[in-house]
Amino acid sequence: MKIHFSAEQIAAIILGKIDGDAAVNVSSFGKIEDALTGQLTFLANPKYEEFLYTTKASIIIINDNQDIKQPIHSTLIRVKDAYSAFATLLSTFDELLTKKLTGIQDPVYIASSAKLGENVYVGAFAYIGENVVIGNNVKIFPQVYLGDNVTVDDDSIINAGTKIYHDCVVGKKVTIHAGTVIGSDGFGFAPQADGTFIKVPQIGNVIIEDNVEIGANVTIDRSTIGSTLIKSGAKLDNLIQIAHNVEIGHDTVIAAQAGISGSTKIGNNVMIGGQAGFAGHLQIADGSKINAQSGVGKSLKVPNSSITGSPAFDYVSALRSQAIMRNLPEMEKRIKELEQMIQQLMDEKITTP
C-alpha cells in the first residue's frame, strides 16, 4: 500500500518551514545519496552535504541553520533537528501502514476465556491462552504465543514468533520484535551436597511498562518471586539477555548483546553499550554510561558516571591507561637505556682511582 504525502502535509507533521513547492508529493523514503524522484530524504550529518546538491529526492528535510551554497531542485523543509523530525515522520508512516491491520486470520487458537479489545489484529497460527486480556488496537502478528493470564494493553505491537509466558504483563504502546521470549524461567538452581543441582521454581513474572521497545531475539527471564521489571520508555536492542528479578529504569537504552545478571537494578536514563556484561545484585545509578564490552562487577553509586573496560572503571582514567599502554614499548626502551647509562656510570666510578 502506497501512502502519498505532500510537502505541506509533512511540514505540518514535523512543524517545519517549506522552501520550494509545497504541493510536491512523495510516497517513499530514500538515502540522500541515491534517493529518486518521488522520495523524501533528510540531511543531518554535515559530511553528506555534497549530496544535497546532487540528490534526485523530491523533498529534503534539513536543519534550520543549514547554508545553501549551490542551486537545489528539491523542495526543502527546514526544522530544528532534521534527524528527530525524520524519525517522527517515519513513525507516522509506520502507524498508517499498521493501523488498517484488523481482524483475526485463520487458523489461530483463542481460548474462550480470552478477552480481545476493539480493532485488534491476530495473525495466522497465533496462540492466545486462557484469561488473556488484549487491549484496543493491539497487533498480534503470526506465530505469536501468549500464555495463560497474559495482558497486552492498548496500541501494543507483538511481532511474529514472539513468546510471552503465563502471567506476564505488557503495557501500552509497547513494541516487541520477532523471536523475543518474555517470561522464560530464570536461571535458578540450588547446589546440593552431592554436587547436583535442584531447580528453584520461578513463580514470578515479567512486567513491561508503557512505551517500551524491545528488539528481536531478546530474552527476559521471569522472576523467582515478584517481577522482572522493564520501566516505561526503556529501549532494548536485539540479542539481549535480562535475568530474573532485574529492573531496567525509565528511558534506559541498551545496545545489542548486553547481558544483565539476576537481581541487578539499572537506574533511569542509563546508556549501555553493546556486549556489556553485568554481575548480579548490582545497583547502577541514574544517568550512568557503560561503554561497549565493559565488564561491570561492582555497583555504580554516583549518578552520571561513565565507565569502560573489563573490569570496568572510570572512563577518563581508562583512556589515560590506554595511552600509557600504547607507549609501553618506547618506555621499555628508554628504561633499558637508562639502566645502561647507570651501569656505565657505576663502572666508571669503580675504575676511577
- Would the pLDDT of 129 be above 90? yes
- Would the pLDDT of 164 be above 80? yes
Asked if 260 and 246 count as a contact pair (C-beta separation under 8 A), the reply is yes
Residue 244 is among the residues annotated as catalytic for this protein: yes
User: What pLDDT shows up at residue 352?
Assistant: 62
User: What pLDDT shows up at residue 324?
Assistant: 76
Euclidean distance between CA atoms 266 and 326, whole angstroms: 33
Q: Tell me what the mean pLDDT of segment 201-226 comes to.
A: 97
User: What pLDDT shows up at residue 313?
Assistant: 62
Please identify which of the residues 4, 73, 166, 244 carries the catalytic annotation. 244
- Would the pLDDT of 237 be above 70? yes
Say if residue 307 is in the same domain as residue 220.
yes
Element (DSSP H or E) covering residue 8: helix 7-14
Look at residue 319 and tell me if it is in a domain.
Answer: no
Angle between helices 7-14 and 82-99 (to 10 degrees): 110
- Would the pLDDT of 338 be above 60? yes
Say if residue 111 is in the same domain as residue 11.
no
- Would the pLDDT of 315 be above 80? no
- Would the pLDDT of 349 be above 90? no
C-alpha grid cell, residue 318 = 581508562
Percent with pLDDT over 70 in the chain: 98
User: What pLDDT shows up at residue 149?
Assistant: 98
Say if residue 184 is in the same domain as residue 298.
yes
Write out pLDDT tens, residues 13-58: 999 999 999 999 999 999 999 999 999 999 999 999 999 999 999 9
Question: Is 0.85 topped by the overall pTM?
Answer: no
Percent with pLDDT over 90 in the chain: 82
Say if residue 209 is in the same domain as residue 263.
yes
Euclidean distance between CA atoms 165 and 150, whole angstroms: 7
Say if residue 89 is in the same domain as residue 117.
no
Say if residue 219 is in the same domain as residue 247.
yes
Look at residue 180 and tell me if it is in a domain.
Answer: yes
Q: Tell me what the mean pLDDT of segment 196-215 comes to.
A: 97
Confidence band (pLDDT; 50, 70, 90) for 199? very high
The lowest-confidence range among 51-65, 227-241, 335-349 is 335-349
Domain assignment of residue 351, given as a range: 324-353
Say how many C-beta atoms besides its own lie within 10 A of residue 79's C-beta: 22
Say if residue 30 is in the same domain as residue 77.
yes
CATH code of 277's domain: 2.160.10.10
Asked if 91 and 1 count as a contact pair (C-beta separation under 8 A), the reply is no
- Would the pLDDT of 213 be above 80? yes
Which of 54, 73, 99 corresponds to the end of one domain? 99
Q: Into how many domains does the chain fold?
A: 3
- Would the pLDDT of 1 be above 60? no
User: What pLDDT shows up at residue 96?
Assistant: 77
User: What pLDDT shows up at residue 190?
Assistant: 94
Say if residue 149 is in the same domain as residue 25.
no
Q: Tell me what the mean pLDDT of segment 174-178 comes to.
A: 98
Say if residue 213 is in the same domain as residue 189.
yes
340 contacts: CB under 8 Å, gap ≥ 6: none
Residue 92 vs residue 39, higher pLDDT: 39
Confidence band (pLDDT; 50, 70, 90) for 236? very high
- Would the pLDDT of 348 be above 80? no
**Helix, strand or coil, per DSSP, at residue 46:** helix
Q: Tell me what the mean pLDDT of segment 250-260 comes to.
A: 98
Q: Tell me what the mean pLDDT of segment 202-213 comes to.
A: 98
Mind giving me the DSSP string for 88-153?
HHHHHHHHHHHHT--EE-SS-EE-TT-EE-TT-EE-TT-EE-TT-EE-TT-EE-TT-EE-TT-EE-
CATH code of 59's domain: 3.40.1390.10
Average pLDDT score over the chain:
93
